[in-house]
Structure 1
Amino acid sequence: MTEEMIIAGFGGQGVLSMGKILAYSGIMEDKEVTWFPSYGPEMRGGTANVTVIVSDTRISSPVLQEYDTAIILNQQSMDKFEKAVKPGGVLLYDPNGIVHPPTRTDINVFKVEATKASVEMGNPKVFNMIVFGSYLKVRPILSPDNVEKGLAKSLPERYHKLIPLNLEAMQKGREIVEEVHVV
């Protein structure tokens, strides 16, 4: 099994954190992983993306041109990465701020109203964990136990009290992800 993915959005949406948690979760399962971030000089509001590869076998390069999965969190990223999803791959997106939803018919498209759900949960900071939970529902490549361990490993210890809230947000994401188009 090899999962090559990109997570892309604005800085401040938790894009890099989501990738880091995914990478640590893969390590907890004794998988080979790469975490390759890319972001502009802006701390918040600029574009950010991270390429993550989780594999049972050795990874030759962290640089990819096509992806098995794309998690898209803004229109700029949709414009740039929708075409880079491999045929039969997965595109998961939050429709908030997406003016032109995905149009490809040769990929599996899923939508998660994570912005809305995070507001309903009373904490917009769990947005990325709602998206992450949706991803794991669509592509269950990691065990829930190892995802929890990966979350604990990626968070500084002073934030470990937030792990239950993050797990709750991930569960919410599993519950609200919607199938838009499946090939």
Structure 2
Amino acid sequence: MKKEIVISGFGGQGGLAIGKNLAEAGMAEGLNVTWAPSYGPEMRGGTANCSVVLSDKPVGSPVFAHPTELIALNEPSLVKFEEGVVPGGMVFVNSDVVTDKVSRTDLTAYYIPCSQIADEVGNPKVSNMVMLGAYVAGTKVLKAETIEKMIQEMFTGAKAKFVPLNIEAFRRGMACVQ
């Protein structure tokens, strides 16, 4: 098994955090992983993307030309990366921001209303957790329990109050795909 994932969007949408969470969860489950972020100097509002490899075999390089999955958090990301996804791959689209549909018929597309769900659970900042849940449910490459444990470890002390909110957003994202 080898997953090569591109996660792309505007800075501040949490795309790099999705990638880091995938990499850390992969390590926790004994997979070989790489995480390579890329972003402009603007940070918030500028383009940000990352590449993640999850594999049951050693990873030779964090660089790849054709992802098995794309997480497109904004329109320019779908336009830029859709063509490179391998035939039979998956594309996860933030349908609250991206108005276009995946144009290729050889890809499986999931349209996730990340912002809407984040608002429903009470905080627009958790839209990336919604998308993370959708990815985990769609690919079944990682266990939901692993991600939920990571969320609990991520938010400690004064931030522990955010654990239920993030877990709810993650689970709602999973429900969009199941």
Whether the 8 Å contact between 1:2 and 1:54 is mirrored in structure 2 is yes
User: What CA distance in whole angstroms lies between the structure 2 residues aligned with 1:128 and 1:54?
Assistant: 19
Distance across 1 between alignment mates of 2:167 and 2:105: 32
Deviation at 1:152, TM superposition (A): 4.3
- Which one has the bigger strand percentage? 1
The reply to whether residue 28 of structure 1 matches residue 28 of structure 2 is yes
| 1:157 corresponds to 2:156 | yes
C-alpha contact (below 8 Å) 1:25/1:151 kept by paired residues: no
How many residues get paired? 177
The letter for the 2-side match of 1:145 is E
RMSD, aligned CA: 1.5
What's the secondary structure of 2:70's corresponding residue? Answer: strand
Cα shift at 1:120: 1.7
- Whether 2:175 is the aligned partner of 1:175: answer yes
Q: Which residue of 1 aligns with 2:66?
A: 66
Q: Which runs of 5+ in 2 are unaligned?
A: none
Three-state SS of the structure 2 residue aligned to 1:71 is strand
Q: Secondary structure at the match of 1:86?
A: coil
The 8 Å contact of residues 28 and 150 in structure 1, kept in 2 or not, is answered as no
Secondary structure at the aligned position of 1:67 is classed as: coil
Contact 1:88 1:108 in 2 (8 A): yes
Of 169-178 and 134-143, deviating more is 169-178
CA shift for structure 1 position 175: 1.5
User: Where do 5+ consecutive residues of structure 1 fail to align?
Assistant: 179-183
Does 1:77 pair with 2:77?
yes
Partner of 1:97: 97
Q: Give the letter for the 1:41 counterpart.
A: P
Answer whether contact 1:25 1:146 (CA < 8 A) is retained. Answer: yes
Task: Provide the residue aligned with 1:37 in structure 2.
Answer: 37
Percent identical pairs in the alignment equals 41
Check conservation: 1:5, 1:67, Cα contact below 8 A: yes
SS at match of 2:45: coil
Distance in 2 between residues matched to 1:83 and 1:152, nearest whole Å: 36
Q: TM-score, normalised by structure 1?
A: 0.91
Q: How big is the shift at 1:79?
A: 0.8
Given that 1:24 and 1:151 are in contact with CA atoms closer than 8 Å, whether structure 2 keeps it comes out as no
Superposition pairs of residues 124-139 of structure 1, within 5 angstroms: 124-139=124-139
**Which amino acid letter does the alignment assign opposite residue 32 of structure 1?**
N
The 3-state SS of whatever aligns with 1:100 is: coil
Supply the distance in 2 between the matched residues of 1:132 and 1:97 (Cα, whole angstroms).
16
Q: Distance in 2 between matches of 1:156 and 1:23?
A: 18
- The structure showing larger relative contact order (alpha-carbon pairs under 8 Å, at least 6 residues apart) is 1
> Which residue of structure 2 aligns with residue 181 of structure 1?
none
